[in-house]
A and B are shown apart, each in its own frame.
Chain A
Amino acid sequence: GAAGATGFGSMADTGLLESLLRLLEKVDGGTDSQDVAADLGVDHQVIVGAVKSLQALGEVISTEQKSSKHWELTGEGREIAEQGSHEARVFNAIPDEGLPQNELMKMPSGKVGFSKAMSNKWIRLDKAHEGGPRVFKTVETIEDTVRDKLQLVQKGQSAKLEDKEKNELKKRKLLSEVTVKSYWITKGSSFSTTITKQETELTPEMIASGSWKEKNFKPYNFEAMGVAPDCGHLHPLMKVRTQFRQIFLEMGFTEMPTNNFIESSFWNFDSLFQPQQHPARDQHDTFFISDPALAHEFPQDYMERVKKVHSEGGYGSQGYKYDWKIEEAQKNLLRTHTTAVSARMLYKLAQQEKFTPVKYFSIDRVFRNETLDATHLAEFHQIEGVVADYGLTLGNLMGVLHQFFTKLGITKLRFKPAYNPYTEPSMEVFSYHEGLKKWVEVGNSGVFRPEMLLPMGLPEGVSVIAWGLSLERPTMIKYGINNIRELVGHKVNLQMVYDSPICRLDS
């Protein structure tokens, strides 16, 4: 955090800091931390620590990081600077009467020194000497230039050497080039040569005594992140659900009771005028229930009317002309759409003494026995809106959809004729996606068929318009999630839940 970024624990001792500041006072235009280290006779790292401590005090000094390259002796290089080069050591070891070669080779510098001294022509080898090969000096005195050069580097005078010489010593692993990070230090806007201790935080005592007025406070580091609050988080899909609920409520829609996942085929399909051989009623698409396998209670006279409209027609319809079976309608299943609930609600509405217009909505789970992939799960949330009133038109449906989608921040809509067994007309809703530069499907809609509404007992002139979409798809787009499993179900990434922003659908 900003407050805890630096601590006094690491503060270098005040004496050193003040020495540094006094030194800085004397120079114009600043100084390098390496020079300070040399001047004060301390290791450069100690000065680096002192600079950091001074930085923490605010604007006492200002610094600029520098990096410079310089030459340094290796371990072997230091040894040579002290004791002479291997060849010089070999030379010095040979007395005037010479030395047997095998004895010379036993010296630590023997091998390297012998060949170097030979190539320098400081010594010669008499292979034919009686008693074995013997080495003799060929010159009286030598000049140990390698040692001299290394000593220059040691004294910080490497500049006196030519690059070629330095590279040769580097090749012999006597010198190495190192990068040194140092600071260029100049006086800061509140430069002073004395150190006043800074307070980290305001305390209740300071407030009580008023001592805060005289204190100096350590600056905060505003670059650091704050401490994450200890809190819970709402799930992103549920945050989006809350927004959709809000939109429907703003539009005056009443929430339907969708807390019944188990539904009979009758309400899920038959009441919606979906014929019993329809492919959606296939085992491949729908989860059927083995226990409790059958629903046992239906509004009898309504069921008779449903049977009749399917098998024989009526209400101006030809019907589907097939043998409608109650056994098929009784089969329990996991509802495949929340429209099953809409059907129950519309039937209930039709049982009222006098029809009153309604606007209904629901957002809840539906189930499909489908092949699963990155965008399809066996269960998902369906959003549904329904309006029932006298004289509603297709233009009204488009108008309501326009208002609804405008609240989602989608204003460019167009409609494609489609097929749905229980709506006629049916329209797919497309919106123009500015990112993809094309029209994408965002929902489905339609006007419920008279074969669905009239058997329920709704008055002839009443039209019911409806639309639906999934909750997952807009959420995935909103939160940039590609795999639905990262959003829904136990494989969710909790970090994603923790990090997800609030949901405003229109922005």
Chain B
Amino acid sequence: MPTVSVKRDLLFEALGQKYTDEEFDELCFEFGLELDEITSEKDIISREQGDEKAEGASDVVLYKIDVPANRYDLLCLEGLVRGLQVFKEKLEAPRYKRVSPADGGEPQRLVITDETASVRPHAVAAVLHDVTFTQERYESFIELQEKLHQNICRKRTLVAIGTHDLDTISGPFTYTAKPPGDIRFKPLNQSKEYTATELMSLYKTDGHLRHYLHIIENEPLYPIIYDSNGIVLSMPPIINGDNCSMLLNLKSVFCVCLQAKTTLDMVVTMFSEYCEEPFTVEEAEVVYPDGRLCVYPELAYRTETLSGDFINKRVGINESAESIAQLLTRMCLRSEVSGEGDLIQVEIPPTRADVIHACDIMEDAAIAYGFNNIVRSTPRTYTVANQLPLNKLTELLRQDLAAAGFTEALTFALCSEEDIADKLRKNIAETRAVHISNPKTAEFQVARTCLLPGLLKTLAANRKMPLPLKLFEISDVVLKDETKDVGARNNRRLCAVYYNKSPGFEVIHGLLDRVMQLLDVKPDRNQGYHIQAAEDSTFFPGRCAEIFSCGKSIGHLGVLHPDVISRFELTMPCSAIDIDIEPFL
């Protein structure tokens, strides 16, 4: 969930009202935001770097507000204020308009060349004309781009945004792609020119930019945008040129977005507020390699028609169509009753790309109505409950294993390869283990194929407890299985260990007899269960038996091999049983 940091006093000034922290928190809650933290720059620095570094930092109160991940229109102060003011009916949602250049001149033009085909053959552009920035507005503008880059743009992998001072460059602009050695310009905040190849190594150590290098690093051609005089606007998605970087006192902003028109709409709608004519955006033309000419920004409004009855029935309220239209209007979805029955015409603005279905509109009506004003009612759905037979069996056995004197352990389903192979004196290739491709540490290399390692690790962590230690676990292991759609399946196992100064095979054997008694399986070589001597590398030679039920092998029991004991950092003899309980369903 993205977090937006805004200055409290600035926010209240824009809202035209002062709130206590509690009141504002309440407003956020109702609207679906979360006032996550109240802090200041000074607090943040002092927490992260110590009090000394915080000396002299600003102690202006900051509100950190969590915004739902799909609400890109609330990612800056401007958007938040607009959303809340409309919600509180203090403001009518603005209508965003695309306009032609004011002086009757030609619109700015961006020409995309064929070479971009291998990188990102799509770009959109727009102009914010006659815009007035203050320090705060400017910071907010930069911050919004950063937030969009992190969220909707997926860390610049999907979309890259560039904004430039239009007075320092002149169109038409060219978006092309060149070998990195052929690109040479002075990037933002640097004092000299570099080739793109040099830049890539320069930014290897840049804490911020190094995360984006991989996006183009291995491409033969890098994307690059020039103006008509060969000045570099940007090398997206890495860095802007220094010549056209934005300053506080600029007049017009040229915005370019690679790939996504929604992102462009978001940037320009939020800050068109500060244009000479608020909420207007000057158009720009984009010429595609195939000769197609498109005009941006789209700023498309869409109208959906739905019935008041639909909203009422889905939410569980009983409101007139008019009042529902009013609720929706408060959510920046300008709505009116169309006159035919209870049909409501809902206009979706370009800022609400998250509204893709009538259910999204229904949710907004419910939010405006107030979730907590909705009458809570019990559905009349009549059903009879059933337990999953496997879980029912597990629950019953757990109770009785505890009654038999064994204590329940709860161990991880993920572990290292070593845990299920080397430490048990097994070969990993023979385990049928499912392997994880991206474990952050060795603890998460595989899904366990048996419960024994977890129990032995539990013993090791509790060596100080009085002996004997008697543990059990009934849980799932995971095995590769070609017959399943995903190529693997769970298997419910029962495992128990007895750890004491003597191996206690008879104790574990007694537990097997008890479990079989509980499962109503008699000791019988054919119709019941029996054990017979077996060799298994995990167990001490001559001290291991295989367990059969109705002629089918279901597991092993025995005294663990001394190497297994020491590899799990244990010091006493230990006997164990491990059986599959699924045959007893």
Which A residues contact B (CB, under 8 angstroms)? 230-235, 237-238, 242, 245, 248-257, 259-264, 277, 279, 283, 287-298, 313, 315-320, 332, 334, 357-359, 365, 367, 369, 377-379, 387, 389, 391-396, 398-400, 402-403, 414-419, 421, 424-427, 447, 449-451, 463, 465, 487-495, 497-498
Contacts and interface: CB of A to CB of B under 8 A. Distances in A.
Contacts of A377: 412
B410 A418 contact: no
Contacts of B414: 287, 334, 367, 378-379
Nearest to B400: A232
B469 A424 contact: no
B376 A402 contact: yes
B34 to A, nearest CB: 7
B70 interface: yes
B362 A261 contact: no
B489 A260 contact: yes
The residue among B69, B454, B457 with the most chain A CB atoms within 10 A of its own CB is B69
A494 B387 CA distance: 30
A314 to B, nearest CB: 10
B38 interface: no
Interface stretch (B7-15, B39-47, B391-399, B544-552): B391-399
13 contacts: A230-B405, A232-B404, A234-B408, A255-B386, A291-B434, A369-B439, A395-B316, A396-B377, A417-B32, A417-B68, A417-B371, A425-B366, A490-B460
Contacts of B102: none
A283 B438 contact: yes
A449 B480 contact: no
Contact of A319 (B356, B403, B406): B356
Interface in B377-435: 377-379, 381-388, 390-391, 395, 398-399, 401-414, 434-435
Nearest to B473: A235
Contact of A490 (B315, B384, B458): B458
A252 B387 CA distance: 10
A296 B486 CA distance: 6
A262 B317 contact: no
Given A233-B408, A234-B402, A369-B440, A317 B357 contact: yes
Contacts of A313: 356
A288 B480 CA distance: 15
Interface size classification for chain B = 35 or more
Contact of B436 (A290, A316, A426): A290
Nearest to A280: B69
B461 interface: yes
A422 to B, nearest CB: 11
Contacts of B137: none
B313 interface: yes
Contacts of B487: 262, 292, 294-296, 332
B357 A449 contact: yes
B38 to A, nearest CB: 14
A28 B40 CA distance: 80
Interface string B348-379: 00000000111110110011000110111111
B388 A463 contact: no
Given A394-B315, A400-B378, A318 B465 contact: no
B376 A490 contact: no
Nearest to A381: B410
Given A416-B32, A493-B462, 14 more contacts: A232-B470, A253-B383, A277-B154, A287-B438, A292-B486, A293-B437, A298-B485, A317-B357, A378-B443, A378-B444, A392-B379, A395-B377, A399-B377, A449-B359
Given A234-B399, A298-B485, A257 B447 contact: no
Interface string B461-482: 1100100011010001010100
A286 to B, nearest CB: 8
B315 A395 contact: yes
Contacts of A400: 378-379
A391 B312 CA distance: 11
A238 B154 contact: no
B407 A419 contact: no
A450 B384 CA distance: 26
Contacts of B455: 490
Given A288-B437, A290-B435, A418-B68, A253 B385 contact: yes
B435 A291 contact: yes
B158 interface: yes
B407 A317 contact: no
Nearest to A230: B405
Interface string B115-155: 00000000000000000000000000000000000000010
Nearest to B415: A490
B249 interface: no
A387 to B, nearest CB: 6
Given A259-B490, A287-B438, A396-B379, A494 B469 contact: yes
B29 interface: yes
Contacts of A291: 434-435, 480
Contact of B379 (A259, A389, A495): A389
Contact of A398 (B360, B374, B401): B374
A447 B398 CA distance: 35
A319 B379 CA distance: 30
B492 interface: yes
B398 A234 contact: yes
Contacts, number: 277
Contacts of B390: 257, 259
The residue among B357, B386, B414 with the most chain A CB atoms within 10 A of its own CB is B357
Contacts of A250: 385
B314 interface: yes
Given A232-B405, A264-B486, A419-B70, A424 B381 contact: no
A415 B298 CA distance: 36
B488 A292 contact: yes
B488 A262 contact: yes
B381 A389 contact: yes
A494 B371 CA distance: 44
Given A379-B414, A495-B465, A332 B486 contact: yes
Contact of A419 (B69, B436, B454, B488): B69
Nearest to B371: A415
B378 A396 contact: yes
Interface in B9-36: 29, 31-32, 34
A417 B436 contact: no
Contacts of B316: 393-396
Contact of B486 (A263, A358, A414, A491): A263
A347 B490 CA distance: 21
Contact of B461 (A237, A393, A492): A492
B450 to A, nearest CB: 14
The residue among B34, B367, B460, B462 with the most chain A CB atoms within 10 A of its own CB is B462
B463 to A, nearest CB: 10
Given A238-B410, A393-B314, A287 B436 contact: yes
Contacts of B71: 419
Nearest to B456: A490
A495 B317 CA distance: 52
A484 B386 CA distance: 31
Contacts of A449: 357, 359
B372 A414 contact: yes
B382 A357 contact: yes
Contacts of A415: 371-372
* 7 A-B pairs with least C-beta separation: A395-B316, A417-B32, A393-B316, A292-B487, A419-B68, A490-B457, A290-B437
B488 A318 contact: no
Contacts of B458: 490, 492, 494
Contact of B158 (A277, A487, A490): A277
Contacts of B484: 260
The residue among A293, A463, A494 with the most chain B CB atoms within 10 A of its own CB is A494
A298 B460 CA distance: 44
A424 B360 contact: yes
A348 to B, nearest CB: 13
A255 B436 contact: no
Contacts of B435: 289-291
